[in-house]
Structure 1
Amino acid sequence: MEKRRVTGINGRAEPPVDPAVMAEAVTYAITSRRSIRSFRDVPVDRYTITRLLEIASRAPSGSNIQPWKVRVLTGASLAAVSEALVGVCRLGEAERREYHYYPQNWRPPYIERRRAVGWGLYALAGVTRGDKAAGERQRALNYSFFGAPVGLVFTIDRDLEQGSWLDHGMFLQNLMIAARGFGLDTCPQAAIANYPDILQRELSIPDLEMVVCGMALGVADPADPTNGLVSEREPVSEFATFYD
């Protein structure tokens, strides 16, 4: 099989790559991505974070408007934001997310899928049915970015339309796949948007922007049982229709 020359993100020609090797690398990066909920205490340097964001920014967007914005939290800033979010969560304050992420009315097959992954996670975390306190402790881990050394907060301008949210999602996926290429793991976190006023205060986010979600980034802790969760996927025959 003929090797192909790949053009880098700066337009530079990269060394020839065997298509089979390239296919395996891309496939591995995609299929090995999982939502990691426990991280090792290993820092991620700023160069690597910047490089990942640079790669992710190659995501497509309508008319190339590039609607994504990111706040990168490490060290003291991450600790302060985590403390504030965990605090309101433990106080039981009502969530105040500014958009609907989940369906307003759950129905099959979505409710069954949600229950399956939820109870699968709780089983690995040692949370039993009816143990409300343990469930709340597990839930609160969201707000400390699961102990990751890097927390990311994503926003979008309020006056942009649904198409830009689709573009933003492709940027997020690019970032998560790029992280796998660097031996890092992530957890996309809709929960981080549950308290936008806290984030606006701590990060000086202007009213023009809406919090989309957060993301934990770092090196996965293989010893934590919750990182063994592998959610199921429906076969292609269940979601694709082919027309000849």
Structure 2
Amino acid sequence: MSCFRNLLGNHLLLFIFLILLPSFALNASNRANKFIVKGVFIDKDTGKRVQGVSVLILNTKDQSKISLVTGKNGDFKVTLNDLAEYKIQGSKPMHLFSLEKSVLTYDLTPNTNIDLEFKIERIHFNTPYLLPNFKFHLNDKEIANTDARYITLLKEILDDHPDMSIEIRNHTDSRGSDDYNLTLSQKRADEIKKLLIKKGLPAQNILALGIGEKELLNECENNIKCSSTAHLINRRSEFVLTTP
């Protein structure tokens, strides 16, 4: 009798498993959800939509990439997988890079639509623009960090417009003497110019200018007590696009 009960129990478990198997399979398939991202690029100055922006979408989980271009209405649409993080950024000739945005597809309701808006800024002549992530060691001309994207951007500008020139401007904070900071900033600007030439930019189209502490962005002038963070705002490198 005991063997019969065991046999009956085993058959019952098998029956329940077979009944529930499609449900497990269905739940598994539901986990492979897809999500639609709709984005639009807006001109920072005019508020108009920007056509022809190259959009790069990076899956940080497996490093796969999706590349596309915005249509005439400045928009794009893409389907993304779930359980991943994506980094999205746009670029266009004669424009600064848009701010990067992240999209997480964890714990989202199936068939969720994600709407994004990006601002992108056109580069104007005789206007200083920050070279982000170009950093120097303290009190030294040695470059500690650069941003390859902006090196490529400057090279593309001069490749497409060989009659244009680029000013590289370096600024220090107010710590140290005025003369010392002016000399240090000139050395740093020269080092950036050397780097750009090494990367293929024409030397005759690049002017390196050391500004020192003449153009501070805040109140941290000589003899004014400021935090290191406040001083750091003034330490920066910029580029200016000029014409002959």
TM-score normalised by length of structure 2:
0.23
Tell me which structure has the larger Cα radius of gyration. 2
Give the structure with the larger strand fraction.
2
More helix by share: 1
**Relative CO higher for 1 or 2, CA cutoff 8 Å, sep ≥ 6?**
1
